[in-house]
Chain A
Amino acid sequence: MTVAVVVFPGSNCEHDVVYALRSLGCEAELVWHRDVDLTAFDGVVLPGGFAHGDYLRTGAIARFSPVMAEVRRMADEGAPVLGICNGFQILTEAGLLPGVLLANRDLRFICRPVHLRVESTESILTKMATVGDVLEIPLNSYEGNYTADPAESGRVLLTYSDGAGKVSPATNPNGSMDNIAGIANGAGNVAGLMPHPERAIESILGSTDGRVLLRSFAVSVAAFAEGRPARV
């Protein structure tokens, strides 16, 4: 089983994602955005960065990259599809996840660790976690302010909280609706989040709380590779 990590021109977290997945025992390879055949892969990650420069709305160009047809096919087949930061923005632009990501409330880029409360374990990103767990994971974005029609906001996986798991306006770093940091589609096989779990996998870098999320993803990919649908 192998995960495809898609490289758009302007992506910059692709090597970090490959490094993190491999350190968890999950094989991963870089795939160029013009590659249009992902049949050799059992899961896909759209990593962080600035795909196509993000000079227009974030992800607005990337959704038209040739690889996205394959990403859509894999999502439809139930394969695990994960968007991190810019990858999350691209998934919303592509309509694979609901909602949009606006500029941060304070109109400034935010790079710092935040606390996340696990709200649902019914997804490829959170299945190994427990509802109520609090994870410390770095946020790194300018457009991280999630908003959606409340009727369509998907399954909320993670919310911005304090260290004790209390979710309040004071723990909202960027103005996201209901403090939402990560969501999944109804089937749970397509997930996106703004914080970077690949930046929280080793204690020497400050936190290992991202491992449970990437391990959930890796386990889901393995299950899908064995022919079991990733739907949860």
Chain B
Amino acid sequence: MTDDEFSSVVGLLGREPKIAELAMYSVMWSEHCSYKSSRPHLGRFPTEAPWVVVGPGENAGVVDLGDGWLAALRIESHNHPSFVEPYQGAATGVGGILRDVFTMGARPIALWDQIRFGHLDDPHNRYLFSGVVAGIAGYGNAVGVPTVGGEVAFEDCYRGNPLVNVMCLGILRADQLVLGTAGEPGTISVLLGSSTGRDGIGGASVLASASFDEDSSAKRPAVQVGDPFQEKKLIEACLELYQKNLVVGIQDLGAAGLSCSTSEPAARAGMGMDVDLDRVHVRESDMTPGELLMSESQERMMAFVHPDQLDEVLAVAEKWEVDASVVGEVKPGGTLRVFKDGNLVAEVPASSLSEDAPTYDRPYSEPSWLADLWASTTDSSQSPDIGTSLLTMLGDPSLGDPSWVYQQYDHMLFLNTVVGPGDNGNLLRIKGTTKGLAVSTDGNGRLCYLDPRRGAARLVYESALNVAMVGARPMAVVDNLNFGNPEKPEVMWQFTETVEGISQACESLEIPVIGGNVSFYNETDGIDIYPTPIVGMLGLADPLPDRPPRLEAGKAGMDVWLLGPRNGTNLAGSAFEKLVSGHLGGRPTDPHPSTAGAVIGLARHLAVQGVAPVLHDVSEGGLAVAIAEICIRSEVGAAISFSDWHHLFCEDPHRFIAVAPPEAAASIRAAAHGSGVAATRIGSLGGSSIEFERNDRIEGSISLDAVAAAWRGAIRDRMDH
């Protein structure tokens, strides 16, 4: 806490704060909890649409799926804890995001993880990577929520600061929606779940809102420890409470623990609350009031209960073997009073903790180095060896087979996973309905480093296209904004540009942002990460397609089509430039909103009609990598014609591949024509190698076996040896 912030507290209270009060303000006013640097900019996001039930500001965003069904979606980061202690950092990230979703009354049905590290050739990165994957698996599998997809990426900028983001989707019936409100005076506050201890004291301020240096391992005690078994029981107990209509409101205990879960619900209800810390069930004695208020012990929820229903609530907790204690009571007047050993240890306006946090309109300016970066290009007159380039790219962990990761995650539980990990987007059915939910999460640090506004907008379009390719209409975005130190004007500029890019793209597609998270201070020893926004897109497919397109559905003899703009040559920020040329520079192509909308509509049409067994977007690695991925997954070669080698590796947006039998040609042309999208037949599947032809001459060829081996080994071989 800064001196100015301390003065603000003194001004609010009209006196010097007591120690416990200071503890509460220090965590609640941390960057992590208060969004004090980002809040002035987040109002830019479009957040409204007729189907939005709950927008940003609650624990999770909620949208209406029709027929009385709602979906709740939330994304969070656990970057710094995962660097300090990879297994527990990642595990507790999973636990936290689950609580955000079942706090809303929803059953969590799926998780996604977006994880980024330095290159795997460095043993410390392998340690972090394997620890994070094991932590996600250890917690997610045991808590009984499938991890159905996500992303892995590797860049040197994440070496000292890996990114561990996690997203959770839940579903609920409309009449089970619960909000984080404390209710009327007389309502009882019941603390459910694990006992409170000294783990994670001040994690929100010490870890999540500060930069790293070589002494960061000393922060390990600020990392919490997860217990998925407690969380599983807590989920089932809470769902039974909702089903029996036994709670007025509920709030999870995450960052800032009891401070947050008492003050925020009271403030939302316009009420105050009396809290007795002696009644909190604890795992160690002699904790100070400040420690009790700041502890981030996991797997805890605060339920607000009508006094007449308290016995029933306690009986449900007892059935599920969940500890419960009555710790407080809602009072009129707006004052939060905290007692310990009969003494009043804190007395503050409840709303001052969450609503009076300072905001900083931090200065921002375009980085001085950007113009030079845009001007920096490579000599690309010489054609590369296409086959060798493809081998190099597919053999890199960022583009290689991610199954080493997702085969450690239970991705099938609940029998909803129609399209699981390793495809474009994921598709989950909702049993007992005709509906499916499609989800894609996308990030690309290189593009956003070169041009945050264009890069971020392209992520929105890419994720919408991925969702459309499994037959769904994109309907809501959540974002996780991972950035460096906001006290640097160029980082704040990257941030504001990113918000603008996401907002513009969402506006053009009429998709609301229903929630998000900001993670600043992702810097180590003064070096910031690339600006790395992650976009999570939710789409609704109703009806669920019988046979959604799959990467493995290609067969010899089928035509390969490119849908969308075809003659892009820009390689700025591409995987080709990074992995083959060893260069990062130039300016990525600006997205084109009306083309984006048309291409997304066409993709959805083709998926719903079942015209093409395979649809695949052209993104990282360009056309060549997209074709190779289809060939590897479908176990068949291809012959592809091209006119300029740049076209094969360019990552310009709004393009996808369709693979279909020759008799579907007329349907594809007609659909593309109707959408105003260019359709080009670029080749066909067949044989046992991938061949690239120009003017009827083979200019690049690589055996399917060779690319498949490189792709399969990219992560696996580095981790298993």
Report which A residues bind B (CB closer than 8 A): 9-13, 15-16, 19-20, 32, 49-50, 52-55, 106, 108-112, 138, 140, 142, 196, 198-199, 202, 204-205
B413 at the interface (CB under 8 A from A): yes
> Given A16-B413, A111-B408, A9–B229 Cβ distance below 8 Å?
yes
Q: How far is the CA of A37 from the CA of B418 in the complex (A)?
A: 38
Q: A205 touching B415 by the CB < 8 A rule?
A: yes
Contact in complex: A10, B233 (CB < 8 Å):
yes
Q: Scan residues 495-525 of chain B and give those whose CB is less than 8 A from a CB of chain A.
A: none
Contact partner of A19 among B232, B233, B403, B415, CB < 8 A? B415
Q: Do the beta carbons of A204 and B412 come within 8 Å of each other?
A: no
User: Contact partner of B414 among A15, A32, A50, A142, CB < 8 A?
Assistant: A15
Q: Which stretch, B137-145, B603-611, B628-636, touches the partner chain A?
A: B137-145
Chain A residue nearest in CB terms to B548: A204
> Taking the complex as formed, is B411 at the interface, i.e. its CB lies under 8 A from any CB of chain A?
yes
Which of B144, B319, B408, B546 has the most chain A CB atoms closer than 10 A to its own CB?
A: B144
> B232 to A140, Cβ gap below 8 A?
no
Alpha-carbon distance A202/B544, docked complex (angstroms):
15
Q: Which residues on the A side are within 8 Å of B413 (C-beta)?
A: 12-13, 16, 140
| Residues on A with beta carbons closer than 8 Å to the beta carbon of B410 | 109, 111, 140
B414 touches A16 (CB 8 A): yes
Most buried by A among B141, B321, B413: B413
* Contact, CB under 8 Å: A199 / B232: no
Cβ contact within 8 Å between A109 and B418: no
Judge whether B129 is part of the interface by a CB distance below 8 angstroms: no
B429 at the interface (CB under 8 A from A): yes
Enumerate 29 A-B pairs (CB-CB under 8 Å) in ascending A order: A9-B232, A9-B233, A9-B321, A10-B144, A10-B229, A10-B233, A11-B144, A12-B413, A13-B413, A16-B413, A49-B144, A50-B228, A50-B232, A52-B229, A53-B228, A106-B720, A108-B408, A109-B137, A109-B409, A110-B408, A111-B407, A112-B407, A140-B412, A140-B413, A196-B412, A204-B546, A205-B412, A205-B417, A205-B418
* A49 to B411 alpha-carbon distance, docked (Å): 14
Hey, which chain B residues are within 8 Å of A110, CB to CB?
407-408
Q: Mark B177-193, 1 if CB is under 8 A from A, else 0.
A: 00000000000000000
Which residues on A sit within 8 Å (CB–CB) of B408?
108-111
Q: Determine the interface band of chain B, counting residues with CB < 8 A from chain A.
A: 20 to 34
Contacts of A10 in B (CB 8 A): 142, 144, 229, 232-233
In angstroms, Cα B417 to Cα A10, docked, is 21
Question: Within the assembled complex, what's the spacing in Å between the Cα atoms of A50 and B229?
Answer: 8
Q: CB-CB < 8 A to B227: which residues of A?
A: 53
Contact, CB under 8 Å: B415 / A16? yes
**Is residue B721 within 8 Å, beta carbon to beta carbon, of the partner chain?**
no
Task: Judge if B15 is at the interface, Cβ distance under 8 Å.
Answer: no
Whether B431 is near chain A, meaning CB under 8 Å from some CB there, is yes
Residue picked from A12, A110, A142, most chain B C-beta under 10 Å: A12
- Specify which chain A residues have a CB less than 8 angstroms from the CB of B418 in the assembled complex: 204-205
B606 to nearest A CB, angstroms?
19
- Contacting pair A12 B137 (CB below 8 A): no
Q: How far is the CB of B430 from the nearest CB of chain A, in Å?
A: 13
- In the bound assembly, the distance between CA atoms of A41 and B211 in angstroms comes to 60
The docked-state distance in angstroms from the alpha carbon of A49 to that of B414 is: 12
